[in-house]
Structure 1
C-alpha cells in the first residue's frame, strides 16, 4: 500500500482544526420539560387550585400543606424521571464504535470519533461507513445507502467512477481502503441530521401495556369517585367542599401515574448492571423478553468456543505435520521443507485480510494463518485483486504476483474448494487429481473434524487472463483448534434447567459441529445441514426442530428460516449473529444478540443486545438478570395496582353508611408519598431468588390485570374490612372522649387509627408483593434498599402521629402502645393474602 497516511505528530494540529468526528444535535431543555411535566396532570392542577383556594378562604395551614405535598410529589417524580431519562440516553454511548486506520505505517484500531480528514481507513464487509470517504481501493464492494437515498438495493463502489462513501451507510459485501474527506457535522449525514432534534424514546411493550391499563384504571377510579360524590351529596353526610377535596386526593393517590416512570428507571438501571456483565442493551424492551426466552439459537465459533484459533496441523497429499504453539504466540519457529506445505502456508497468508503488528486485527481464523506464516518465516504478498468470502460460496480468492508471475490463490471450506480442483500439487509437481486422492483428502478432513478441529482447504492456479476460481490445483488442508469456553458447559446446564433449549447454527461442517456439541453437552444425535434444510418444507422443518439441536454448513438464509419456523411454533427465540447477512434473523428474533468483538456494525445496528465478550455464558447471565428484573417489575405492579383501592372502598362504604370521612385529604396525599414512592422504587432492587433459573420461562404476553386480579381483589377486600373495623373502634373512642368525629378540622382517633393502619398495612404488604413465598424467611428481608425505604416511611408516620406541629397539620392524635399494637396486628393480616389468593386460584382451575 503506497498511500500517504497521517502520522501521530500531525494529530494534535488537525484535531484543533477539525475537532472530533461526531454530530451535535440541537439541545432541548430536558430538565425544564421534565420539571414542568410534573405539574401537568389534571388532578395535580386541580389540587394546586384547591390549595390556593384554601389559603384564600383562610385555611392557611391546610392550603400550605396541600401545596407542600404537591411540591414533594413533584420533586420525587422529577428525580425519578430525570434519572430514567439520563439512563436511557447513556444507552447510546455504551457501545464504542471503532474503525481500522493506517497511521505511522501501522494498522491500528481507533474510536470512530477520533477519525480526522486525511486518515486512511480500512472498510470491511458489514462495517458502517465512519465518515465521508474517497475510495482508493475496492474489492467487490457494495454499499447500502438507503438511509440517505431511500433506495434499498446496494450500490456498487469502485475507486474510479463511483468512489464516494457516505457516513452512516453500510458495506453489504466486499471491502475497501479509502481516505477520509470530511467528518462529523461536515459530512452529508451530518448536514441532514443537523436540522433534526433527536430525543427519541421508545416505550417498551410492558410500559405501553401499563399506560393502557393506567388509563382504564384512571377512568374506573374517576367513575367510582363521581358516584361517591353524588351519593354523599344526596345523603349530605359530608360537606361538598370536604367531599370534593377528598375525591381529588383519592384520585391523585389511587391512579398509578408514576408506574411507567418507575419501570423505565428500573429497566434503565438493569441496562447498567448488564453492561457491567458484558451485555450492552440497545433496546430496553429486550430485558422484558429475556425472562421469557425459550430457545437460544447460537453460533459456534467465538460464542461457544474461545475464538482463539491455533493451527495445530497441516496436510498436503500423503504428508501431515503437527504444529506446536498456542494462541497468537509467534513461537516456536517451525521449519517447513516440504514444497507443498510451503505453498499451503503461502496461500494462507496471502489469501488473508488479518494484520499482525503492534495491534492484532482481523478474523481469528485469518490471524491464525498469519501466525503460522510468521512461525515458518514465509512472507506474504500484497494482493492485486480479491474475490471476497461470502457465506454462499464459503471461499475467497486473491490475485497475487509471486516470483514474477501472477497466481490466483484460494482458501475456503473443503466442500467448496475441492469440487473446483482438477489437479493436485504433489512433491512440488502438478498432476491430475484422482479419486484415490479425493478419498484420502476427505478421510483426513473427517479425522480432523472428529477432533473438533476447524479445517480449511487451499488451492491455486496460474493467472492467464480471467480472475476466476475454476480448474484449480489442490494444495492441502489446514486444521485449527478453537476449544470450547471453560464456562460454557455449566452455562448450558443452567439453561437446560431453566427450560431453555439451545440450538447450534454454524457454517462449519457437521462432524466438527457434532464434536464440539459432544464436548459441551448438547445432544448431537440429530444433525441437519443447510442442504438438508433446502429440501424440507416449513412443516417438515418444524418437526425436525423438535428433535434437532445442531445445524451445520448453514448460511444466513437458513438461520432466518429456522427462526421464523420456531416463532411460528410459539417459541420465544433469542438469536446470535455476527455477519451482515445475519441481520434479518436477528431482526426477526424476539431478542437479537450481536457479537461485539467479531460482529459487524450492520449486525449491531439491528441487535437488541451486543455482547462485549462474544461469550455464550454472558447470554445465560443476561437471561438470569432479565428474569430478575421482570420479576421485580411484576412485584411493584402488583403493589401499586393493589394499594389505595382499599381507601376508596373504605371511604365509600363508611360515608354511604352516614358516618364521617375515615381519612382526610391531606392524609391520603401523604399516603401517596410515604407508601407509593420509596418502597415501590426499592422493589426494583430485589435480588433474584436462588431458584430463578430452575423455573420455566414466563410468557410475556399475558394480561397483567387478569394475572393479578385474584391478588388485587383479595388485598382490597381484606384491607377494606380491616379499615372499617379499625374505624369503628376509633369512632367509639371518639364518642367516649367527647370528640366530634364529624368535625373534620378536629383531630380524631378514628381517622388517626385508619391512617396509621393503612400505612403499616402497605409497608407490610410491599414485602408480600416482593415475595409471597414464606418458605425461606431469610430471603423475605434480603432487599436492604426495601428495608431502608420501609424504615424511612415508618419513621415519618411516627412523626405524623407524635410530633405536635405534624399533629396540627394532619389532624392526628398520639397513639398509646396498645393502640400501636392493635393497628400493627390489624395490618399484619396482609400476610393472609397469598394463602387466600392461592385457594382462589385452586378453586378456579
Structure 2
C-alpha cells in the first residue's frame, strides 16, 4: 500500500534533528491552516436543546398541557408535563447516539505533541502543528498528524482505527528522500497517521498532512458532510409527509367541527382535532430515514469505503453491474517474477544476470526493479545503454570485459529478441510457442540474450545474439477476489472487467477470477460500438481490453440504457468521465488521482474489489433494515390514525387522550430507530440481488401491510364499541382498544425481527409489560383514564396479536425471498 506525499512541503526537511523556526511556522500556518482534524463539536447542551424543541411531540404536550391549565384541570396538565421527561430524554439519547461516532473518533486524537521548534524540544497543542514540523512520538502515544517516519527502531503501530485490523503493524523509517519534486507514492510502512497509536519504540515524524487532509480527518469529514443532503428517496418521503400533513389538517378541522356540532363542546372538539393531528403526523418516516442514512455512511466507512455524497447509500445497495479496473483492484497492482526458463547450457542465475545487466537502477520501471532485486548484474563497467522504446521493444547494455572485448546484454519482447538471435527455425518456433503459452495465462513475458563482441563501434548490435531464455512476470490476483466475484455474480450482479491490457492477458485474468466462466468473451474497446450494433444493443461480453476513457463512458451509458444500475471503478484523470457518468463512481484511495477522487461519491481506502462487494452487501442490508422499519411504522401507524379519526366521527367518546398518544409514540419511536438498524445480516447480498427495480415494497408486501393495519383497526374499533356498552363504560372500552394496539406493536416487532436480537426481544415484550402496568395497577390506570381488563379481554387481545403476528410474519418471509 502506498500514499501520496506532498514532497514539496518537505523540501530540505529530511534531517532527523532539525525542526522548523518561528517565521516558517507562521507562514505555513497561514497557508495550510491549523491541525484541526475534527471540527469543534456542536453537540453541547444548547445544541441538544435546539434539536429537542424541533420535535412536534414536545409542542403537542406543551400546548395540550396549557389547554388543561386554562380549564383548571391541573392533574391532567401535570401528567402531560411529566410525559415531557421521557420524550425529551429519548430525543436527547438519540441525538447523543448520533454524535457518538464523532466523539469516539475524537478520543483517538492526540491533544498534545512534542515538537522540535526553534532548535529545542517543546510540548504544544496538537492543533498548532503544521506541515514540516518534526514531532517526537513516544511509545503509547497517538500520532498527531500524518507524516513520514524519519527515525525509530522496532516500531509497531496500532492502526485498527483506520483499518479495523487488530494486529500491530511494523513500521520503518524512510532511508532517503524521494527523488520526485511533486507528490509521490510512499509505502505505508513509512507513514505514521493521525489517530493511530505507537505501541513500541520512539519515532520521529516529519509532518506532511494536517487537519482535514489527514486520512483520519477525511473519514470524519466525508461522513459528517453527508448528513444534510437530500437524496431522491428522502425527498420523496418529505413530499409524502407534506401531502399527509395537508390531509391531516383538513381532517382535523372537519373532526373538530363535527364533534362540536354533535354537542361535545369546544374542549372535546379541540382535543379530538389535536389528538388526531399528532397521531396522523408522520414525522417518524423522515427522522428514521435520515438516521439510517447517516448510519449507512459510517458503516460503509468501516468497510473501507468513504462516502462523499449520501445518495450513494441508496444506490450502492441496488447496483446490478460493476465495471471494474483490473490493475490494482482485481490484481495487486505489482509485478512478480513467476517463471525463469533458461536455454540449454544455462541456469536460472545466468538468465537473471543477463536481464539485470540490461536493467537500470535509476529507472522507476518495476520490471527493472524486480530483475535487479532477484539478481546481480555483471560486475563490469557499462559502456552504453540503448533504452527500451515502443518502436524498438528491447533494451541493450554494452559492457566492457577485461581482455575479452565487449559483451552485449539484451532484454525485450520475445519476438524481437528471437529475431536477432542465431537460432534454427524449429528452435525459434519452440520458444515462441512457450512464450504464447505463458502469455495465455496472463503473464508478461520477456526474452533475454547475450552477444560477445571482439570490437564495438558505438552502435547497437543488430544480430548474432545467443538466446539465453525467457522470464515470465504477472500481476498477482488479490487474495479473496475470486470468491468476491463469485459472490457478486450469485447475487445477480454482473461483473465486467475493463483494462488497457492485451486481450490475451485480460482473458487469462478473467478466467482465473471467474468472470465469464471458463471461456470469457473478450472484445477490444475499439470494437465495442460495432459489437453492440451487431447484437442489437445486447451486451454479452465479459471483458473489454485496450479500452479508452471515451469507450469506457460509452459502455456505462449503454448499460444504463438497458436498465442496469452501474458502479464503475477508476483511479486516473482519464477515468473521471466514467466515474461521473456512473450511478456509483468508486475511486481508488491508494493509487487514485485527485481528479478521480473529486468526482467519485465513494473512495476505497484499500483499492480492493472485495471492498466493493462488501459495500454493496452493507448497502443492501441497510435497505432491508429500512424497509422493515418502515413496514413496522405503517402497520402500527395505520390503525392508530384510522381509529383516532373514525371513533370520534362515529359520535363515540374519544378513544385516545393526549397521554395515550404519548405512550404509543414512546413505543414506536425507539422501536423503529433502534431495533431494526443492527439487524443481523444473512444472505442479504444474494436475496436482495433479485430486486432489480427501485421499489420500496412489492404489491404482495403492500397487501400484507394493509391487511395487518386493517385487522388491527377492526379489532380496536370492535373492541372499543363492544366494551363501551349501553352504560358507556369509556375507561374499560378504552383499555381494551389501547391494549390491542400496544400488544399488536409487540407482535409486529416479533414477526418482522423473528426475535433475532436482544433489542428485538425487549421491544416485543416491553409494550406488553407497559400495558399490564397501565391497566392492571389501579392508581396508574386511574391516572391514565383506564380500567383493569378481565381475563376474557386479555384472551381476545392475545388472540388478535397472534393473528396479526401470523400475517406480519409472512411479510418478513416475502422479504427474505425477494
Q: Give me the TM-score of the superposition, normalised by structure 1.
A: 0.69
1:529 aligns with 2:537: no
Shift of the alpha carbon at 1:516? 1.8
The residue that corresponds to 1:777 in the other structure is: none
Counterpart in the other structure of 2:369:
370
Give the Å deviation of 1:570. Answer: 1.3
Instruction: Please report how far the alpha carbon of residue 632 of structure 1 lies from its aligned counterpart in structure 2 after TM superposition.
Output: 0.9
| TM-aligned CA distance change 1:472 to 1:485, over 3 Å | farther
Partner Cα distance (1:589, 1:816) in 2: 62
Cα drift, residue 751 of structure 1 = 0.5
Deviation at 1:137? 8.2
Deviates more, 1:299-308 or 1:498-507: 299-308
Match of 2:318 in 1: 292
**1: CA distance, partners of 2:62 / 2:41:** 27
Q: Is residue 787 of structure 2 the alignment partner of residue 761 of structure 1?
A: no
Q: 3-state DSSP class of the match of 2:567?
A: strand
User: Aligned residue for 1:309?
Assistant: 335
**Structure 1 residues 338 and 650: alpha-carbon distance in aligned structure 2, compared to 1, 3 A threshold:** closer
**Deviation at 1:693?**
0.8
Q: Distance in 2 between matches of 1:638 and 1:76?
A: 22
Give per-residue Cα distances to partners, 1:806-839, cap 9 Å, x unaligned. 223311222233322221212333135459999x
Question: Which deviations, in whole Å up to 9, do the C-alpha atoms of 1:123-163 show, x marking residues without a partner?
Answer: xxxxxxxxxxxx99878x899xxxxxxxxxxxxxxxxxxxx
- Which residue matches 1:65? 79
786-795 or 78-87, larger mean C-alpha shift: 78-87
1:557 aligns with 2:569: no
Is there any run of 5+ residues in structure 2 with no aligned partner, and where? 1-6, 110-129, 136-141, 152-176, 185-205, 218-223, 399-406, 422-427, 450-460
In structure 2, what is the Cα distance between the partners aligned to 1:182 and 1:650?
A: 60
Task: Go from structure 1 to structure 2 and tell me whether the alpha carbon gap of 1:280 and 1:181 turns closer, same or farther (over 3 Å shift).
Answer: closer
Q: Structure 1 residue 608 and structure 2 residue 601: aligned?
A: yes
> Would you say the 8 A contact 1:80–1:265 is kept in 2?
no
Among 621, 625, 630, the residue aligned to 2:623: 630
CA 1:455–1:789: 2 relative to 1, 3 Å:
farther
CA distance in 1, matches of 2:417, 2:662: 90
Match 2:663 to one of 670, 679, 703: 670
1:573–1:182: structure 2 CA closer, same or farther, 3 Å change rule? closer
What pairs up with 1:673-822 in 2 under 5 angstroms? 673-690=666-683, 692-699=685-692, 701-702=694-695, 709-732=702-725, 735=727, 741=730, 748-768=731-751, 770=752, 780-822=754-796
Alignment equivalent of 1:449, drawn from 420, 439, 447: 439
Question: In 1, are the aligned partners of 2:245 and 2:281 still within 8 Å (CA)?
Answer: yes
Match for 1:428 among 408, 416, 421? 408
| Deviation of the 1:689 alpha carbon | 3.8
Tell me the equivalent position of 1:4.
12
Per-residue deviation, residues 406-432 of structure 1 (Å, max 9, x unmatched): 86744xxxxxx5445599779618999
| Residue 22 (structure 1) aligns with | 35
- Alpha-carbon distance change, 835 to 548 in structure 1, aligned in 2, over 3 angstroms: same
Q: Residue 446 and residue 659 in structure 1: after superposition, are their counterparts in 2 closer, same or farther (change >3 A)? A: same
Paired residue secondary structure (2:496): strand
- Mapping 1:348-497, distance limit 5 Å: 349-352=361-364, 366=366, 369-378=368-377, 409-410=387-388, 417-420=389-392, 428=408, 436=419, 446-455=436-445, 479-497=472-490
* Distance in 1 between residues matched to 2:337 and 2:133, nearest whole Å: 28
**Structure 1's 142 and 493: CA in aligned 2 closer, same or farther, altered over 3 A?**
closer
2:649, 2:575 → 1: CA distance? 65
Deviation at 1:437, TM superposition (A): 5.3
* CA displacement 1:362-414 (0-9 Å, x = unmatched): xxxx2x6424313323599xxxxxxxxxxxxxxxxxxxxx979886744xxxx
Q: Structure 1 21/494 Cα, relative in aligned 2: closer, same or farther at 3 Å?
A: same
- Whole-angstrom CA distance in 2 between matches of 1:57 and 1:337: 99
Structure 1 pair 315–649 and aligned structure 2 pair: CA distance change class (3 A): same
Deviation at 1:239, TM superposition (A): 3.3
Distance 1:783 1:579 in 2: 44
Partner SS for 1:479 = strand
1:259 and 1:296 map into 2 onto residues whose CA distance is 31
Q: Distance in 2 between matches of 1:593 and 1:693?
A: 22
Task: Give the distance between the partners of 2:653 and 2:578, measured in 1 at CA.
Answer: 64
C-alpha deviation, 1:217, in angstroms: 2.0
Asked if structure 1 preserves the Cα contact closer than 8 Å seen for 2:781 and 2:787, the reply is yes
Residue number in structure 2 paired with 1:221: 248
RMSD value over aligned CA atoms?
A: 5.0
Q: What is residue 176 of structure 1 aligned with on the other side?
A: none
Distance in 2 between the 1:717 and 1:274 partners?
Answer: 38
2:4 is matched with: none
Number of equivalences: 688
Is the Cα contact below 8 Å between 1:81 and 1:265 reproduced in 2? no
Give the distance between the partners of 1:543 and 1:101, measured in 2 at CA. Answer: 59
Q: CA deviation at 1:757?
A: 0.9
1:592-633 alpha-carbon deviations (Å, 9 max, x no partner): 223333333443333333333333233222222221110110
Cα distance between partner residues in 1 of 2:61 and 2:67: 10
The alpha-carbon deviation at position 271 of structure 1 amounts to 3.9
Q: CA deviation at 1:793?
A: 2.9
Cα contact 1:714–1:836 (8 A) shared by 2: no
- SS of the aligned residue for 1:226 comes to helix
Q: 1:250 to 1:651 in 2, by over 3 A?
A: closer
The 8 Å contact of residues 387 and 396 in structure 2, kept in 1 or not, is answered as no
Report what 1:262 is aligned to.
288
SS at match of 2:283: coil
1:650 paired residue number: 643
SS in 1 for 2:591: coil
Structure 1 gap ranges (5+): 105-109, 120-134, 144-178, 191-196, 324-333, 354-365, 381-401, 411-416, 460-470, 742-747, 772-779
Judged with a 3 Å threshold, the aligned counterparts in structure 2 of structure 1 residues 371 and 681 are, in CA distance, closer, same or farther, namely same
Per the normalisation by structure 2, the TM-score is 0.71
Query: What residue number does 1:204 align with?
Result: 231
Q: CA deviation at 1:675?
A: 2.6
Measured in 2, the distance between the counterparts of 1:837 and 1:656 equals: 32
Indicate conservation of the 8 Å contact 1:723/1:754, yes or no.
Answer: yes
Q: Distance in 2 between matches of 1:667 and 1:591?
A: 45
Quote how far apart the aligned CAs of 1:450 are: 1.4
Q: Deviations over 1:452-477 (max 9, x none)?
A: 22357999xxxxxxxxxxx9999998
Matching residue of 1:107: none
**C-alpha distance in 1 between matches for 2:677 and 2:212:** 40
C-alpha distance 243-541 of structure 1, shift in aligned 2 (>3 A): farther
8 Å CA contact 2:353, 2:376 repeated in 1: no
Question: Partners of 2:295 and 2:346 in 1: how far apart?
Answer: 54
Residue 444 of structure 2: SS of its match in structure 1?
A: strand
Q: What is the rounded CA distance, in whole Å, between the counterparts of 1:322 and 1:704 in structure 2?
A: 68
The residue matched to 1:547 in structure 2 has which SS?
Answer: coil
On the 8 A contact 1:253/1:668 being kept in 2, the answer is yes
Q: How far, CA to CA, are the matches of 1:518 and 1:492 in structure 2?
A: 11
